[in-house]
Amino acid sequence: MATETAARYCYRHPDRETGLSCSECGRPICYECMTPAPVGLRCPEHSGKPQGVKKVTSAAGRVASGQGSRSGYPVTIALIAINVGIYLLELASGGSQDGTGNKIWLHGALVARGSYLDGSPAGVANGEWWRLITSAFLHAGIFHLATNMLGLYWLGRVLEVLIGSWRYLLLYLASALSGAAGALWLSGPFDVTVGASGAIFGILGALLVLERKGAINTGGQIIALIVLNLLISFLPGISIGGHIGGFIGGAILMLLYLQFRRSNALAIASAVAVGVVSVIVAYAVI
C-alpha cells in the first residue's frame, strides 16, 4: 500500500511548503532562500562555499508521483476550474456543440479585425483589448479543453510548488498575453484563436529555465515535451505563434524572477513589464 510523504517546509520560513533542497546540506529551502549554483541550489549558509556532491532534489518528480499536499498548488486547481466553468457557460449560452458561436465566444475570442452580425466592428484592432486575455480561457471543443487542462495540471502544479502561487499566477497571465501577441503576429487579421496553450507554453519555458539553472532535474523530459508540442503546433488549426509567444514570455519572466528572487516588488514589476510589452507587440503587429 502506498504511503504519503510528509510535506516539507523551508527551514528558514516554516510556513512555506517547498519542493526545493540545498544541494550542499539537503535542507528544504523556499524560492526566496535559494541561490542557483553550477550544480543544484544552495541555502543562504552555503551560497558562498564550495559545491558539494549532492544535486538538487527533483520537485518535479515528487509532485508527479503524488507526494506533497494539494494545498501546494491552489492556483493550478483554480485555473482548471475557471477554464472548465467558462466552457460550460459557453455550452449553456447556445451556439455549436463545441462551445463556439455563442455570445461569450463572439466577444472573447482573439481576433485582430472582424465584425458582428449587425456590421459593427470587432476585434483587438477595434478597441476590444480584453480579447488578449479572455481568449486564453476559451476553448473550441471538449478535446481542446481536456488536452490543455491535462497539460496545465501536470506542468502547472510543479511550477507553482517551485516558485509560489502568486508568482506562478502572474507568470501564467503574462504568458497568456505574450501568447496572444505571438498569435496575432503569425496569424491573419481575421483568424480566430482561443485556448490556454500559450500560457501552458509559458510554464514550459519557465520550467526549462529552472532546469537549465539546476533548480530541477527532469532527466530531459522538459526538452522532450517542448519539442513534441512544437511539432504538434504545426498541425492545422493550431496557433504556432501563440505557442512560441507564450514560451518566450514565460522563459523571460522566469529569468527575471531568478534575477530578482529576493524582491517581491521587482518580481511583480517584471511580470507587469512582460505583460505590457506583450500588449505593445500585439498592437504593433495588427
Residue 197 is among the residues annotated as catalytic for this protein: yes
Contacts with 5 (C-beta within 8 Å, 6 or more apart), sequence order: 62, 67, 68
How many other β-carbons are positioned within 10 Å of the β-carbon of residue 251? 21
CA distance 199 to 268: 17
For the chain, count helices (H), then strands (E).
Answer: 11, 6
Backbone angles phi, psi at 280, to 5 degrees: -60, -45
**Cβ–Cβ < 8 Å for 246, 196:** no
β-strand partners of 35: 42
Nearest CA to 246 among 235, 236, 233? 233
Helix/strand/coil for 4: coil
CB 156 within 8 A of CB 203: yes
| Catalytic hit among 139, 178, 243, 270 | 243
Q: Which of 197, 239, 270, 278 is catalytic?
A: 197
Residues 83/153, Cβ–Cβ less than 8 Å: no
Cell numbers 518580481 correspond to 267
Q: Where are the beta strands (DSSP E) in the chain?
A: 20-21, 28-29, 35-36, 41-42, 114-115, 121-122
Give the catalytic positions in this structure: 197, 243
